[in-house]
Amino acid sequence: MRRTVRDTHLAGLHPALARIYQGRHITSAQQLDYSLSRLLPPVSLMGVDAATELLEQALDADAHILFIGDFDADGATACTVGVLGLRHMGASNVGYLVPNRFEYGYGLSPEIVGVAASRQPDVLITVDNGIASIDGVSVAQELGMSVMITDHHLPGPQLPTADVIVNPNLPGDVFPSKALAGVGVIFYVLMALRARLRTLDWFGRRGIKEPNLAELLDLVAVGTVADLAPLDHNNRVLVAQGLARINAGYCRPGIKTILETAGRSRTLVTARDLGFVVGPRLNAAGRLEDMSHGIACLLADDIDQAREIAKKLDRLNQERREIESTMQQQANEIVDQLHLNGALPMAICLYNDDWHQGIVGLVASRVRERTGRPAVVFAPDGNGVLKGSARSIDGLHIRDLLDSIATQHPDLLKKFGGHAMAAGLTLEKQTLDMFRRVFEQAVVDVLGKEHTPEALLSDGCLNDDDLCIEFAELLRASGPWGQQFPEPIFDDQFEVIEQRTVGQRHLKLRVRRSQGKRVLDAIAFGYFDKHSAPPPAASLHVAYRLEVNEYQGIRTPQLIIEHIEPC
């Protein structure tokens, strides 16, 4: 399906690029201005004044501040931004603690508060979590700690009794962007705190150089992209500024060495690299071991120390890939069997006794992509409890759906939380079959029985002249592309000149537009995960991304194929 393009005018742009932007509802050059002056001010963010007051008092008293992070890339970068930001503002006693996924689970639980208490903090600050931590906040306050929650997840009907809550998704919050990731929320708190301290002549009175918070934007960019936060204009500013710093070499040693270890050039980094290279390596630590490895890498000031940790993260990521591959193959077999048994259900719910709870979210994403249906994948957590990860499709708010299920079946879900497109949940193993039935019916109630899978949206055709390295580089430079501001996808008919299998899973092609002259390399990654044989036709209808391929210093245009069908 081709995108609808509004009749608008973007003067001076390449015609194809203007068409791409129009399809993403860009109507003026101002929406493409990613300078820092275009960032929304923090003044309208609910709770930010109370947050800066609490932090000012903590800094003045040299209080012990402890960040409680989350075990994903957003949580790791948010924790790093918080620790570095407060240190730059004069905090001498600031640290962090990340719950181990397998011991304590998610968020500020009473158990993790007990661990935190052994460090005797005065102030606990959650990043990328806490909005559902009713019991944990109460326990912390009973132990004499002040608690500040910074989060972006959707709140439930009851809020914790924290001293301060900063979350753009709170009811009544008028902050114009609801798309901030957890790292974006704590960055905004730091911006507001710096402004408050500036008015108090804090830096001058203490002989501290006022920090340049832009130095943290590489971290903000990584967390925002890795968490699939919607790239509204405000988030595009944050990501564009972070990418500019990375590509100029002004980024944390940890980010430099993660890119280096993955074989990526640090001068050609895009948002896709943050999402598919840096993010997965950070996430691998939280999925398989402990996210403290990822935070240590990001906090490291010494390049050699950062490099050693980055190598460990790369090894963990390779292990993660191997586990995921096995789980994905098993999930595909279950889905294939569902096809053989009749119509595929409107919602997919999968479980295997041997699956790894740290990988279920990745498998749920792949199942959703393969079937075009919302998916929940479960793994055992011991003692008869299952941990699940849900991924949704456009038009279905998965966190609200789980909330509705919990209301109608109050004993079914033990815990749940998340966003519109992704959520986590736990339940008793004995209730899995019931959940599967309830979940499928709830999806049918929202979408209807005749709902069809999401269409792949195309930005139209490119002519031969645009299938070149210059336009590929222009597209790369015209982002950042990402969630809800997707990379351009084009479609056209191509003649197949040559095709072969690469790495057992990928289909490599040389193609030419029908009636065109330019011959191009193309690759369909993971083609043989879904197909047993190459496409049978010599002429194909292809949906593709136009990218820059660099090999031995030579840069050429390449088609990254998203979908193939015979003409």
Residue 422 has pLDDT above 80, yes or no: yes
| 64 neighbors 97 (Cβ within 8 angstroms) | no
Per DSSP, the residues of 328-359 read HHHHHHHHHHHHHTSSPPSSEEEE-TT--TTT
pLDDT digits 0-9 by tens, 439-492? 999 999 998 877 776 678 899 999 999 999 999 999 999 999 999 999 999 999
pLDDT digits 0-9 by tens, 336-393? 888 776 678 899 999 999 999 999 999 999 999 888 899 999 999 878 999 999 999 9
Was domain 327-447 assigned CATH 3.50.50.60?
no
CATH number of 457-566: 2.40.50.460
Structure tokens of 299? 């906090």
Q: What is the DSSP letter of 269?
A: -
Question: What is the C-alpha to C-alpha distance for residues 159 and 156, in angstroms, rounded to an integer?
Answer: 7
Please report the beta strands in 60-131, taking only residues with DSSP state E, as ranges in sequence order.
65-68, 94-97, 123-127
Strands 164-166 and 146-150: parallel
Burial class (CB in 10 A: 0-12, 13-18, 19+), 470: exposed
One-letter amino acid for residue 468 of the chain: C
| 69 neighbors 78 (Cβ within 8 angstroms) | yes
- Average pLDDT over every residue of 420-433: 92
Encode 43-62: b = buried (16+ Cβ within 10 Å), e = exposed. eebbbbeebbebbbebbeee
Q: Where are the domains of the chain?
A: 33-312, 327-447, 457-566
Question: What is the C-alpha to C-alpha distance for residues 382 and 429, in angstroms, rounded to an integer?
Answer: 10
Largest interatomic CA distance in the chain: 75
- Average pLDDT over every residue of 87-111: 86
Top pLDDT among 222 and 267 is at: 222
Residue 107 has pLDDT above 90, yes or no: no
Question: What is the C-alpha to C-alpha distance for residues 428 and 8, in angstroms, rounded to an integer?
Answer: 54
Residue 334 has pLDDT above 80, yes or no: yes
| Per-residue pLDDT, 339 | 77
Per DSSP, the residues of 129-156 read --TT-HHHHHHHHHTT-EEEEE--SPP-
Residue 417 has pLDDT above 60, yes or no: yes
| Per-residue pLDDT, 4 | 59
pTM: 0.91
What contacts 203, CB < 8 A, 6 or more positions away?
89, 90, 197, 209, 210
Task: Residue 543: name the closest of 461, 452, 473 by CA.
Answer: 461
Q: What is the DSSP letter of 394?
A: T
| Per-residue pLDDT, 355 | 97
Q: Give Cα 111 to chain centroid, integer Å.
A: 27
Q: Say yes or no: do domains 33-312 and 327-447 share a fold.
A: no
Q: What is the DSSP letter of 40?
A: P
Average confidence score pLDDT of the chain: 92
Q: What are the respective helix, strand and coil percentages of the chain, to the nearest 5?
A: 45, 20, 35
pLDDT digits 0-9 by tens, 167-211? 999 999 999 999 999 999 999 999 999 999 999 999 999 999 999
Q: Kind and range of the H or E element at 423?
A: strand 422-428
| Per-residue pLDDT, 459 | 95
User: CATH: 2.60.120.10, 3.40.605.10, 3.90.1640.30, 3.40.50.2020. Which one for 33-312?
Assistant: 3.90.1640.30
Gyration radius of the chain over CA positions: 24
Residue 231 has pLDDT above 80, yes or no: yes
